[in-house]
Copies of this chain bind each other. A is one copy, B any other.
């Protein structure tokens, strides 16, 4: 099942996507829902981020090649993490599929994409086990962890390098039925494919993270966990269009402008 979130007469509304049709529901996939008799097309609606998370979690350093690339860019030694220490991102930075990534005036040209699988939590849970961890995930979406590398290297925290407004595209929707092991992530800049990787080839997998996290913390419906990215990343500039595709889920596409 595929869940889109969109503005309907100005009100954020969930709908079930069936082919090119969106069926708005009363309620939400997190609280219970029922179909309305309406039928919409994607031309009728403006997609919103598929969920505004109570807490926005993000794995860093979760694919081996990316660990080496980032270490080189920020001038540190590459070290594969030895335990799944989760990080955080901020809701102010979220934008939907189709919305514009805005590079601040004073950013360098090193503003880069990172294509990521996103797990969306469906229920309140703590103490998850390896056997039941995936039952806490209600579905999957796509994230682009846009990063300004000089700020990432020089600042004490990742506040503006990763959480400047518009730096966290997420969408286009949530897909509930996914076979993790057969997912492939592809990143295209202006239509040219830059990288393709086996999405599930993580240093620590979704189950590893959820089990470790819920040993100490409670997850809530709508929390998101961004699973990290693989490979080298390149600069995006004014006028570019960046696409992250994960088969079985969809394509997250955003234009890029530099603040004038």
- Please report A residues at the B interface, Cβ cutoff 8 Å: 52, 54-55, 60-61, 81, 83, 85-88, 90-93, 104, 126, 155-157, 159-160, 163-165, 213, 215-220
Given that A83-B155, A155-B85 are contacting pairs, would A92 and B218 also be in contact in the complex, using a CB cutoff of 8 Å? yes
Enumerate chain B residues within 8 angstroms of A216, measured Cβ to Cβ.
104, 159-160, 163-165
Q: How far is the CB of A93 from chain B (nearest CB, A)?
A: 7
Judge whether B93 and A217 touch: CB under 8 Å. yes
CA of A160 to CA of B52 in the docked complex: distance in angstroms? 23
Can you pick out 29 interface pairs between chain A and chain B where the beta carbons lie within 8 Å of each other? A52-B54, A54-B92, A55-B90, A55-B91, A60-B156, A83-B155, A83-B156, A86-B159, A87-B157, A87-B159, A88-B90, A88-B157, A88-B159, A90-B217, A92-B217, A92-B218, A92-B219, A92-B220, A104-B215, A104-B216, A159-B213, A159-B216, A159-B217, A160-B216, A163-B216, A163-B217, A164-B217, A165-B217, A165-B218
Q: How far is the CB of A212 from chain B (nearest CB, A)?
A: 9
CA of A91 to CA of B91 in the docked complex: distance in angstroms? 12
Out of B87, B92, B156, name the residue touching A85 (CB < 8 Å).
B156
Q: How far is the CB of A151 from chain B (nearest CB, A)?
A: 9
A sample of 8 more A-B contacts (CB under 8 A), given A52-B54, A87-B159, is A55-B91, A61-B156, A88-B157, A92-B217, A159-B216, A163-B217, A164-B216, A165-B216
Q: Which of A60, A83, A90 has the most CB of B within 10 A?
A: A90
10 tightest A-B contacts by CB?
Answer: A85-B156, A164-B216, A160-B216, A88-B88, A85-B157, A87-B157, A86-B159, A85-B155, A55-B90, A92-B217
Q: How far is the CB of A154 from chain B (nearest CB, A)?
A: 9
Given that A85-B159, A126-B165, A159-B85 are contacting pairs, would A54 and B217 also be in contact in the complex, using a CB cutoff of 8 Å? no
CA of A217 to CA of B92 in the docked complex: distance in angstroms? 7
Given that A163-B217, A164-B216, A216-B165 are contacting pairs, would A54 and B85 also be in contact in the complex, using a CB cutoff of 8 Å? no
Enumerate chain B residues within 8 angstroms of A218, measured Cβ to Cβ.
92, 165
Enumerate chain B residues within 8 angstroms of A93, measured Cβ to Cβ.
217
CA of A92 to CA of B164 in the docked complex: distance in angstroms? 23
CA of A86 to CA of B86 in the docked complex: distance in angstroms? 18
Judge whether A157 and B86 touch: CB under 8 Å. yes
CA of A126 to CA of B54 in the docked complex: distance in angstroms? 22
